[in-house]
Amino acid sequence: MTVRSALLSPSPLIALAMGTVLLGEAAVASDVVQERIETQHHALRLVRLADGLAHPWAVAALPDERFLVTERDNGMALVENGEIRRLDGLPEFSNHGQGGMLDVVLHPQFGDGANDWIYFTFSKPGEGDDTASALARARLEGNSLTDLEELFVQDRFSQPGRHYGSRLAWHADGSLMMSIGDRGAEPPRAQDKQDHAGSVLRLTETGEAHSDNPFIDDPAGLDEIYSIGNRNIQGMTVTQDDSVWASEHGPRTGDELNRIEAGVNYGWPVVTLGNDYATNEPFGEKSRPGMRDPVLVFEGRYAPSGLAVVSSDLFPEWSGDLLAGGLGSEKLARIAIDGDTAQVEELLLEGEIGRIRDVRQGPDGTIYLLNDEAKGGLYRLERAE
């Protein structure tokens, strides 16, 4: 595994070059953090499954009760019974600022042998310090990734550090949605259909543009683009009716929840309900014809990251609801959706584990969370007795 770091100190590179590392001293047995959390419908228990993860970004639950966790700075780890092993075999990535190893999902038919692919996104280094959001897949063998394939790289490399987006979500038809942020320095890129920045892509499982994409036969737009005008989506999921929902970082107090549809322009940076960070004055217009208003604007500075839909029999009263994590807000919100409307029903967590980076429903029906800390943890929300 090779990492290009923005830091010149050799120590993190030396540690990463060691390949697979057992972090036994950082591992913990399952630890009940909070025995009982009362909610409107279900009493919950909060359990920590592992500790000592370096800024974990995404979690994918394997069928055998192990977990793959991406660590933004370090790569990818395999978590088993609280023990953390870092994997080798990863592509080169840049861990400057918000960049690094980012999302991870399993192929929808993972477990049948032929489709045991692990898909992941990362900030790919280019010339100088420039980077781009990229997608790859590989197989897991022991403590290594093998058969590595780079599937997609956004069309333009640019200065590193901000707004990679990079959430992944599968459609029922087998297509893969991928978000790419506006990359921070040039927000108008999100309005350019000839630029992948600030968009949601729809790809095949091998990384090509899906044949039904809205600009597939339109020379004005790139084939891979599904929607435009998205600032920085860091939460994305597909509901039971195959609708794509995304939680998105807006400017100050303008964080959004959107239903993502083909060919729609979600407005950034022309339209936003947030404020300028420096002046706290309104940023852009409130609405404009031809640009889609958000379904919901989060209260305050939510800083959304991680989004899951509940379909588990363990939480019947939440069926079809969304669970949205928050970084700066340190919140986990339950959101009821009805067609094109959404409403925050309650806060399930508020500060108990700190900055919430990822939210996933596991194959066992419980809810898994990551917190974004230098020594972060993997947590499970389960039904209390």
Catalytic residues: 163
Q: How far apart are CA 63 and CA 60, in angstroms?
A: 10
Q: How far apart are CA 120 and CA 133, in angstroms?
A: 11
Nearest to 103 by CA among 113, 84, 81, 118: 118
CA trace torsion 339, 341, 347, 352 (10° rounding): 80
Find out whether the peptide bond into 269 is cis, omega within 30 degrees of 0.
yes
Which residues have CB under 8 Å from 123's CB, separation 6+? 93, 94, 95, 96, 99, 100, 102, 131, 132, 133, 134, 160, 164
Is residue 308 a contact partner of residue 359, using CB atoms and an 8 Å limit? Answer: yes
Sheet holding 304-309, edge to edge: 304-309, 322-326, 331-338, 341-350
Calculate the CA 68 to chain-centre distance. Answer: 14
Rounded to a whole number of angstroms, the CA Rg of the chain reads 20
For residue 293 the two structure tokens come to: 């208003």
Q: How far apart are CA 111 and CA 116, in angstroms?
A: 6
What count of Cα atoms within 13 Å lies in the side-chain half-sphere of residue 14?
4
For residue 105 the two structure tokens come to: 């999902």
> Which backbone phi and psi does 168 adopt, to 5 degrees?
-120, 145
